[in-house]
Structure 1
Amino acid sequence: MKPTIQNSIVLFKALSEITRLKIIWLLINIDSKICVSEIIEVLNQPQYNVSKHLRILRKAGLLEESKEGKWVYYYIKETDSEFILHLKKAISIISEKDMVVEIDRCKKKLLAREK
């Protein structure tokens, strides 16, 4: 199914902000779910800011959440929308050069979670 112009605008607006783009990039490239506290530390952003960005990404249909105990984890929404699949592919190939610090922090957070 093809998205409407309005749906496309919502998606592009959601991705037009650097913090939201970084969140989506990380979730696509680390292939793992991540909770708000981890995103806060990885992106060095305040909680209210991260929560606001996650809410926007969820409303755009890019993220889903699951509650596990006291933690809420966010992950990339599975979809069969060709449009969103192309968006994800485009985001996934953005260079890692601009995300080196965030990637390192994220890997450390995920390792700490496993222990």
Structure 2
Amino acid sequence: MYDYLKIIKALADITRLKIIWLLTNIDEKICVSEIVEVLEEHQYNVSRHLKILKDASLIQEVKEGKWVFYYLVPVNNQFHHFIQKAISSIPETEMTIEMVRCKNLLQIREKEGGIQ
């Protein structure tokens, strides 16, 4: 039961919920600096939130060069499936500004061939 409680507690913060919502809806890995810009949060706060989400086994990280990217942990049980489904059902209208920022950043990253 502790693992389930850890997940629910991790999602009980608006910034962490937004991070998971973004990762669910963009289906793309994203780095700290991109999350900072999209959510207009301080780097320290974003890093702290990512650590909590990682400790709850909701996200994983992969290092590519000097950048660390975060992505959703693949769904491996029914509980994770329902959590992800619930988060993805939050209407995009609740995250319109953040989604526009994120799509713009991802387009820039693609055009430039990576993070600069």
Tell me the TM-score normalized by structure 1. Answer: 0.95
Q: Which residue identity is paired with 1:77?
A: V
What's the counterpart of residue 114 of structure 2?
none
81-90 vs 36-45, which deviates more? 81-90
Structure 1: 5+ residue runs without aligned partners? none
Task: State the distance in 2 between where 1:30 and 1:79 align.
Answer: 16
Residue 67 of structure 1 aligns to a residue in which SS?
strand
Where structure 2 has 5 or more consecutive residues not aligned to the other structure, the ranges are 112-116
Deviation at 1:67, TM superposition (A): 0.3
Among residues 49, 56, 59, which one is paired with 2:55 in the alignment?
A: 59
Q: Deviation per CA, 1:64-101: give whole Å up to 9, x if none.
A: 00000010000000132110111001100101111000
Asked if 1:79 is matched to 2:75, the reply is: yes
Map 1:27-38 → 2, pairs under 5 A: 27-38=23-34
2:99 equivalent in structure 1: 103
Q: Percent identity?
A: 56
Q: How far apart, CA to CA, are the structure 2 residues paired with 1:26 and 1:79?
A: 16
Question: Which position in structure 2 is the counterpart of 1:50?
Answer: 46
SS at match of 1:53: helix
Query: What is the aligned residue count?
Result: 111
Q: Which runs of 4+ in 1 moved over 3 A?
A: none
1:94 paired with 2:95, answer no
* TM-score normalised to structure 2 length: 0.94
Aligned partner (choices 50, 64, 67) of residue 68 of structure 1 = 64
Deviations 1:31-71 (A, max 9, x none): 00000000000000000000000000000000000000010
